[in-house]
Chains A and B, each alone.
Chain A
Amino acid sequence: MSGTAPNPQLPVVQRVRIRYAKRGRMRFTSHRDFGRAFERAVRRAQLPVAYSSGFSPHPRISYAGASPTGASSSAEYLELALTRRCDVGQLREALDAALPPGLDVLTVVPAVTGALADRLEASDWQLTLPGVPLAEAQRAVAAFLRTDVIEVTRKTKKGPRSFDCRAAVVTLEAGPAALSPEAGSECAILRLVLRHGTPSVRPDDVLAGLGEVAGFIAPVPPLSDRVAQGPLDTATGTVGDPFV
């Protein structure tokens, strides 16, 4: 064995950013599950992805702001380094075809703006709460917004951890479901804009916070769906497009 680094790899000539969805039954993929599936799709699609050097070369893919296991999302982002310039339209089609249905490639753009992770300042979530009357959801939301600090506890691998879930909430409102999932059953919808930060506050934590301040309990596990992720407009409390 020589003294040079093993497996010298081709240089990166282009970086592309990808917006993808994780939905349907694929919402149960964890971040790691998605990573493996994506790397295999890249190889099946025979994309000229760049690899790291070393004994154990890895494809150069940067994931940013992945949603929790069980949440669906149509606003997931990653960046991919390529060793050959590609047409982003063709790349989108090839990659989407190589991924299972439910993991869907929505948009591919050349990376031009600043670091992707820095562009993802906040998320817009829609939480579907089957079995919850709208009035009850509205009452809980009002109580939540009136409170300045709401401590919640989350189970982590290192044991329970307590933190404030209120400060990260930019906007929160309750509305009726456009279409009730089952005729006759009640269903409320929460719209929630969450600022990213440390500790990162997730929709589940906000639901726990609603329980803290208003004794709110969802009878059925709610469905969290990330609608948008990107720069936060603090004036309007809205989430923009990170590609613009």
Chain B
Amino acid sequence: MTAASLFSRLEPLLPGVQKPIQYVGGELNSAAKDWDAVDVRWALMYPDAYEVGLPNQGVQILYELLNERDWILAERTYAVLADMEAVMREHRIPQFTVDAHRAVAAFDLVGVSFATELGYTNLLTALDLAGIPLHAVDRADEHPIVIAGGHAAFNPEPVADFVDAAVLGDGEEVVLAISDVVREWKAEDRPGGRVELLRRLAASGGVYVPRFYDVAYLPDGRLDSITPNRPGVPPKVHKHTLMDLDSWPYPRKPLVPLAETVHERYSVEIFRGCTRGCRFCQAGMITRPVRERSITTIANMVQTGTEHTGFEEVGLLSLSSADHSEIAEIAKGLGDRYEGTNISLSLPSTRVDAFNITLANEFSRNGRRSGLTFAPEGGSERLRRVINKMVTEDDLIRTVAAAYSQGWRQVKLYFMCGLPTETDDDVLQIADLAKRVIDTGREVSGRRDIRCTVSIGGFIPKPHTPFQWAAQLDAETTDARLAKLRDALRSDRRYGKVIVFRYHDGKPGVVEGMLSRGDRRIGRVIEAVWRDGGRFDGWSEHFSYERWARCAEEVLANEPVDVDWYTTRERGPDEVLPWDHLDSGLDRSWLWEDWQDALHPTGAVAVEDCRWTPCYDCGVCPQMGTDIQIGPTGRSLLPIAAVS
């Protein structure tokens, strides 16, 4: 397979496309390695536009640590925009990497990171442009192995036809293990072709190869079984969990794009995992247990990361950043270090109950006050108990009162609509809460220019969560419920203009819901949508509900299932779920009990966080051989002399 640069063919065409800079590469800290000097070559794809894909932490981490090995090369590729796709088809330019502009088909492996299901059609575009057969079974020995990862890969069944393999969980160690297997197989002169390579990967139990599993269906459309179809392939595939994050301080040298991207900052993951136990939250369920980075590693990463990039904003990331055992010390220590510089710190994802004003002030010392965002998720206290997000209204009011009295003028509140057991009344309570927030703000600040944004997302039941059995609310009811909330917010002139209401209609959520809990039959829907022109489904200006609905109806016409069957249908305890053979560590009976606890007739039963209370037996740690890794370490930060 040739791997010459395609750039000389591409260059004359670039003046004719939008934002050509996204296709030229050359970012600071990008790698340019010798093709012939390595044994294993990865093309890493984020299946969205460059401006969205470049900042992705997962891709950057894997890119850096793969390229650190002298025997591995990794380059990146992103979804090309429609105008570029047309130009590439016209001039027969295949899908290329932005690093050395090599044809993606020339690589040994294509690793694709699915943060959301809405990237599936973009994978098909890339494979098609690359000249790689769409269906894994049609690929020959010379084609790359296409491997999916990311959160959506915890149910890869909808894309099972298109990927050769999928991996669950943290990618750091498994990409190296896969590289080892590929290197060995190539060194042996590729015995048994790609099927043997896939067999070796599958035999480890840590790489899922869909073609080695048969799915049987019941006459009513439910799954009957998912079973290995060859010896040596384990019945279950387990997720990967990276322990001791201090020894994996990536990204060390993040890519600095020339193009404008969605996040222009250096991000440090301060911990991975979350055990708060919010029942809707797939991220919290599949990334257990909590593993913290220590205060000193975080500070070192911030120092070297900003030095290597020149970024001015540092984001301290995690699923609930204020929950770090030493967050106060981190905030104060970094605040002291960067006092008087133009480096600003931000703390995305903070819980209302973990937030405190001292912390907020540490993060705005240099005067930059971004808005504060809190996510109570459920409008009523009853509903917040159902979802196990135990934030009381008084907690929230106390927090916003502190914020408004300290000079903040704007608070953003995030909620979901369509949660299990939800009624109109639960959602209408959001209006009361928002009004109380404004009243409180006006009272404590003595000012009238207090604002509050209410932002609503539709709830989508996700695999590997206690709500995986739940019925998704249909689009019509969602829209009607949100219309009532909008009316309630606008009815009172005293609040009409100061409460900004943001929501989307319920239809895109239906498609996402079908993809989230879909099985292999959904692959044909994805392909039909893509053939019909479906691209960039995560972008509202490109997404077409009509197309998805029409294609699903056509493709599933002769099946006992339809879109409603996948979305608004509640599942029973004994139903085989499409991801039952994929082991996130969570005990299935624990998930079911937690689902029943949510629905308890006398009020939902609470689950406490296992970081601070005894283990509640979700099953992850014993199943995966992992443990909670948290501080405090008791260490503190000293000023760095070099910081000027």
Q: Which A residues fall within an 8 A CB radius of B?
A: 1, 6-7, 25-26, 28-30, 32-34, 36-37, 39-44, 46, 51, 55-57, 69-70, 98, 100-102, 220-221
Contact = CB atoms under 8 A, between A and B. Distances in A.
Contacts of A32: 260
Contacts of B12: 220-221
Given A1-B407, A33-B259, A36-B260, A28 B368 contact: no
Interface of B: 7, 11-16, 19-21, 23-28, 256, 258-260, 264, 306-312, 342, 366-369, 407, 644
Contacts of A69: 20-21
A41 B310 CA distance: 6
Contacts of B312: 43
Nearest to A34: B258
A43 B313 CA distance: 12
A28 B310 contact: no
Contact of A26 (B26, B310, B367): B26
Contacts of A30: 19, 21
Contacts of B368: 55-56
19 contacts: A7-B367, A25-B11, A25-B24, A26-B24, A28-B20, A28-B23, A28-B24, A29-B258, A30-B21, A32-B260, A43-B310, A56-B368, A57-B342, A69-B21, A98-B310, A100-B26, A100-B27, A100-B28, A221-B15
Contacts of B307: 44
Contacts of A36: 258, 260, 264
Contacts of A25: 7, 11, 24-26
Given A28-B24, A44-B310, A70-B14, A33 B367 contact: no
Contacts of A220: 12
Contact of A40 (B25, B26, B309, B644): B309
Nearest to A39: B310
Contacts of A40: 28, 256, 309-311
B407 A221 contact: no
Nearest to A5: B367
B60 to A, nearest CB: 16
Contacts of A37: 256, 258
Contact of B258 (A1, A39, A43, A100): A100
Nearest to A40: B310
B258 A6 contact: no
A131 to B, nearest CB: 10
A179 to B, nearest CB: 16
Contacts of B27: 100
A53 to B, nearest CB: 10
Contact of B15 (A33, A34, A70): A70
A42 B407 CA distance: 33
A44 B308 contact: yes
A229 B62 CA distance: 44
Contact of B14 (A26, A28, A98, A101): A28
A81 B428 CA distance: 55
Nearest to B20: A28
A172 to B, nearest CB: 21
Given A40-B310, A51-B342, A55-B368, A221 B258 contact: no
Q: Which 5 A-B pairs have the closest CB atoms?
A: A40-B310, A6-B367, A43-B310, A25-B24, A28-B20
A46 B310 CA distance: 9
B211 to A, nearest CB: 40
A133 B15 CA distance: 22
Contacts of B28: 40, 100
A184 to B, nearest CB: 17
B309 A7 contact: no
Contacts of B21: 28-30, 33, 69
A44 B366 CA distance: 20
